[in-house]
Every structure is written in C-alpha cells, then in structure tokens.
C-alpha cells in the first residue's frame, strides 16, 4: 500500500510491525514521489520527526555533520525517548572534534594486522558451515549459518571467550529487534544493559591482564590526552558487537533469500559471470540492514525545500535512498552485476561505518563458500521478518541447498 492511497499520516514509522504489514518498496516509492521530506507527527507523547527519503537529500544530510548532530542519538527508538546516554562517549553518537579522536582509537581494532587473521577465520568458518548444511535437506539458514558467522567474527576480533558467545548472541538479537510482535519494550533495554555490563567486566579483566587483543588495545588508548573510562571502552565495544553482528547477520540472510527468489542471479554468481565484489555490493543495497539513522538539527536549515528548525529530529532512510529511481537504474531489480552501486547501507560522510571492510569480507566469504559448494538454492518455507523500526530483514529462512 502506497502513501498516496492510504494517506501518509496513517502510517507509523515508530511501529515495529510497519514493514511486516506494508511492502517497503511500494511505501518508499510513494513517499519519494509525493512527500520526500515529510513531517511525521509525534505519537504517544513522543516528539515528531522529519523523514528524508530521496538519495540526494540523505547523502547531503549525512555529509552535513556540522548542522546535523549525532550526539543526542542516531536510532529513533532511543532518540524519541530522550538523549542517548552514550552521547559524546560512544563513537556513533559523538560529534567532532571528539569523534575524530575516538575514531582514531577505534581504527586500531581494524588494522590490517588484526583484520587479516580475522578474515582468514571468517573464510574457514563460512566454508565449513555451508558444507555442513548442503544436501542435508531443508534447514533454517538464519539459525544454522547466518547466526554463526558474524557473531563468531566479531567475537574473534574482540577475543571473546567461546563460552560467553551464546549469551552475547541472544542479547544482541533482542537489542534492536524482536521475533515477537508483542515483545516487551523493556526487553530490548535489558538486552542492551546486559551487553554493556558484560563488556565493563571484560574491560576490567583486560586492564588487569592486558594482551594484544582489541579490547586491551582500546582499553589502553587515550582520547583528548586522557585514558578512556571503563564505561567508555565498554560502550565502544558494545557498539562494535551490536553493529558487527546484526547488520552482517541480516545481510547474509537477505543474500540467500534473494538468490532463492532470483535463481538467474544465483547462476550468474555461481558460474563466475559476475564479480563477487560486485555481487556483495548489490546484496548490501538490496538488504539495507539499517533502515535509517537519525540526527538532530543544531541550527535552522533547509532540506529538499523544507525548513528544518534547530532541535528537530531528522531521520535519514537508507531503506528508501537505496531504491531511489533518481540514483539507481531499475532499483527494484536484484542485479548482481549492477555498477556503479553507490548505496548508503554503511551510511556516508564522517560517520561512515567503521566495520564496512569487515562486513564486506564476511559477505564475500559467504558467497565464495556458496559458489564453490552449492548448485541451487530453493525456498523451503515462509521466512519470518523481524519486528523492528531500525533493523531490516528476517529472523528465519527455511531453504534447501543442493550440492554441486
């Protein structure tokens, strides 16, 4: 259903069932055409916010970090409740100049030396998991493969003990989405708190007995000439694991669903007719795991001909920008040979995703494993969408892999 047929004000982007019940491609096409900079009225005592849906406006807003601040929060679920308590402390919700200092610290976690060993393990893990499920009949790709690659990867990066990983996965899955339409809204808050408490304890242990792992490196670093507090180190580790697991997991699920739905595209990848790197970029565009990011205007400004006032919340919808006909040719077609493909799945500008290289490496490892092992990918049941105002994707995906 399009906004032009139901009336834009009837739609609620703060409802986690919104895109379970409405086709996002149809909805966003109508929004881009008829109200590309839309004022979304507040509900249930929460403030209203701007909805930016066209690619050019989204990219321009991401670039304008001086007038569109991240420090109050970058996810609507959090921002509409008030200021993010991690503002100015966690990289994603920090503005310049401290953002520059924190980013330099966090980049140490993604040095070539560190990532080389992590990517090697990703490739081995992906190959092993795909071999285990191929020709074994119907299985849930989300549970059997997708959940086990990114969480393993980010835990490898942070040297998380194997015994702790199941708890982190469980908390992470509840932090920004739910598999239940009637989920307790406090469950997400509790999950986030559990992750943060876990990392505070881990930081204390790594400071007492430092190693060459990423947590120890961040814990020993300084920003603005002073060591980071235990809480600040924990917040930034929390950010790594939250972003590194959720986005990669739903992108992997989306990739396999897209190939099941478009067997011609799977044949092109399997037979080497398209570059794996090109296919990865199209999967990322098609998946758009983070539907939006949000900012707060620090001054009056204009976006797309509409007047934004200082203090207004501005939401930037990647889920729309990545399918904007003004930027992409036939955007509603899954095309693994698409080029150029300047999607915004990792954001844009100063807050461009720190883990983009690792996210791409994970998807490339999965596609490599699939191409070498799997002849055909077929649906074996109805996938289950996640309930979220932020995360885009599915929590289950029944499929069958036939071996080559």
Of residues 178 and 47, the one with the higher pLDDT is: 47
Within 8 A by CB and 6+ apart from 360, the residues are 277, 280, 284
* Phi (first) and psi of residue 75, to 5 degrees: -125, 130
When pLDDT is averaged across residues 382-392 and rounded to a whole number, the result is 92
pLDDT at position 325, please? 98
Q: Give the range with max mean pLDDT: 7-11, 101-105, 231-235, 279-283.
A: 279-283
Within 8 A by CB and 6+ apart from 321, the residues are 53, 54, 55, 58, 59, 327, 344
Residue 97 CA neighbour count, 13 Å, CB half: 3
- pLDDT (tens digit per residue) in 272-292: 999 999 999 999 999 999 999
Domains of the chain: 3-403 (1.10.630.10)
Whether the predicted pLDDT of 151 surpasses 70 = yes
* Phi (first) and psi of residue 254, to 5 degrees: -60, -40
d(CA 183, CA 180): 5
Percent of the chain with pLDDT over 90: 62
When pLDDT is averaged across residues 96-120 and rounded to a whole number, the result is 86
**306-308 and 301-303 as β-strands: parallel, antiparallel, unpaired?**
antiparallel
Q: Please, which residues bridge with residue 39 across strands?
A: 50
**Which of 53-67, 72-86, 291-305, 356-370 comes out lowest in average pLDDT?**
72-86
pLDDT at position 226, please? 84
- The pair of structure tokens assigned to 320 is 């729309």
- pLDDT (tens digit per residue) in 296-332: 999 999 999 999 999 999 999 999 999 999 999 999 9
278 contacts 341 by C-beta, under 8 angstroms:
yes
Whether the predicted pLDDT of 180 surpasses 70 = no
d(CA 380, CA 99): 46
Whether the predicted pLDDT of 11 surpasses 80 = yes
pLDDT at position 5, please? 43
- The pair of structure tokens assigned to 286 is 């098609």
Q: CA nearest 241: which of 330, 323, 171, 313?
A: 171
Predicted confidence band at 176 (pLDDT cuts at 50, 70, 90)?
Answer: low
When pLDDT is averaged across residues 191-218 and rounded to a whole number, the result is 87
When pLDDT is averaged across residues 205-231 and rounded to a whole number, the result is 86
Using DSSP, how many helices (H) and how many strands (E) does the chain show?
Answer: 17, 14
Any alpha helices (H) in 262-355, and if so which ranges?
263-270, 276-287, 318-321
Whether the predicted pLDDT of 177 surpasses 60 = no
- pLDDT (tens digit per residue) in 339-373: 999 999 999 999 999 889 889 999 999 999 999 99
Predicted confidence band at 167 (pLDDT cuts at 50, 70, 90)?
Answer: confident
Dump the DSSP string for 239-283. HHHHHHHHHHHHHHHHHHHHHHH-HHHHHHHHTTSS-HHHHHHHH
d(CA 111, CA 45): 45
d(CA 270, CA 280): 13
Buried b (16+ CB within 10 A) or exposed e, 232-253: bbbbbbbbbbbbbbbbbbbbbb
When pLDDT is averaged across residues 49-76 and rounded to a whole number, the result is 97
- The pair of structure tokens assigned to 270 is 């399997």
pLDDT at position 182, please? 59
> In the chain, how long is the greatest CA-to-CA distance?
62
- The pair of structure tokens assigned to 124 is 């081995």
Dump the DSSP string for 182-232. T--HHHHHHHHHHHHHHHHHHHHHHHHS--SSHHHHHHH-EETTEEPPHHH
d(CA 130, CA 394): 19
pTM of structure: 0.91
């Amino acid at each position: 259903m399009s906004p032009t047929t139901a009336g834009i004000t009837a739609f609620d982007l703060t409802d986690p069932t919104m895109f379970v019940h409405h086709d996002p491609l149809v909805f966003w096409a109508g929004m881009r055409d008829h109200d590309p900079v839309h004022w979304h009225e507040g509900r249930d005592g929460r403030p209203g916010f701007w909805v930016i849906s066209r690619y050019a406006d989204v990219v321009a807003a991401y670039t304008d970090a001086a007038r569109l601040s991240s420090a109050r929060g970058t996810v609507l679920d959090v921002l509409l409740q008030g200021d993010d308590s991690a503002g100015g402390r966690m990289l994603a919700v920090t503005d310049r100049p401290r953002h520059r200092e924190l980013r330099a610290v966090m980049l140490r976690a993604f040095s070539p030396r560190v990532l080389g060993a992590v990517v090697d393990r990703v490739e081995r893990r992906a190959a092993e998991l795909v071999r285990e499920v191929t020709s074994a009949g119907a299985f849930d790709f989300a549970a059997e493969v997708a959940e086990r690659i990114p969480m393993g990867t980010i835990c490898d990066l942070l040297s998380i003990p194997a015994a702790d990983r199941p708890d982190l996965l469980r908390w992470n899955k509840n932090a920004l989405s739910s598999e239940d339409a009637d989920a307790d809204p406090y469950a997400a808050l509790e999950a986030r708190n559990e992750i943060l408490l876990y990392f505070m304890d881990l930081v204390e242990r790594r400071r007492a007995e430092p190693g060459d792992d990423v947590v120890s490196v961040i814990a020993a670093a300084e920003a603005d000439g002073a060591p980071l507090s235990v809480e600040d180190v924990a917040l930034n580790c929390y950010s790594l694991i939250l972003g590194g697991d959720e986005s990669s997991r739903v992108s992997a699920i989306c990739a396999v669903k897209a190939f099941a739905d478009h067997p011609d595209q799977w044949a092109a990848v399997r037979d080497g007719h398209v570059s794996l790197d090109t296919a990865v970029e199209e999967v990322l565009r098609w998946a758009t795991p983070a539907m939006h990011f949000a900012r707060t205007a620090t001054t009056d400004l204009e976006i797309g001909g509409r007047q934004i006032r200082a203090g207004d919340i501005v939401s930037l919808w990647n889920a729309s920008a990545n399918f904007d006909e003004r930027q992409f040719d036939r955007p509603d077609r899954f095309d693994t040979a698409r080029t150029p493909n300047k999607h915004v799945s990792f954001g844009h500008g100063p807050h461009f995703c720190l883990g983009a290289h690792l996210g791409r490496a994970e998807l490339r490892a999965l596609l490599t494993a699939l191409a070498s092992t799997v002849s055909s990918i077929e649906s074996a049941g109805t996938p289950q969408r996640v309930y979220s105002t932020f995360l885009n994707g599915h929590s289950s995906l029944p499929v069958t892999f036939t071996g080559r």
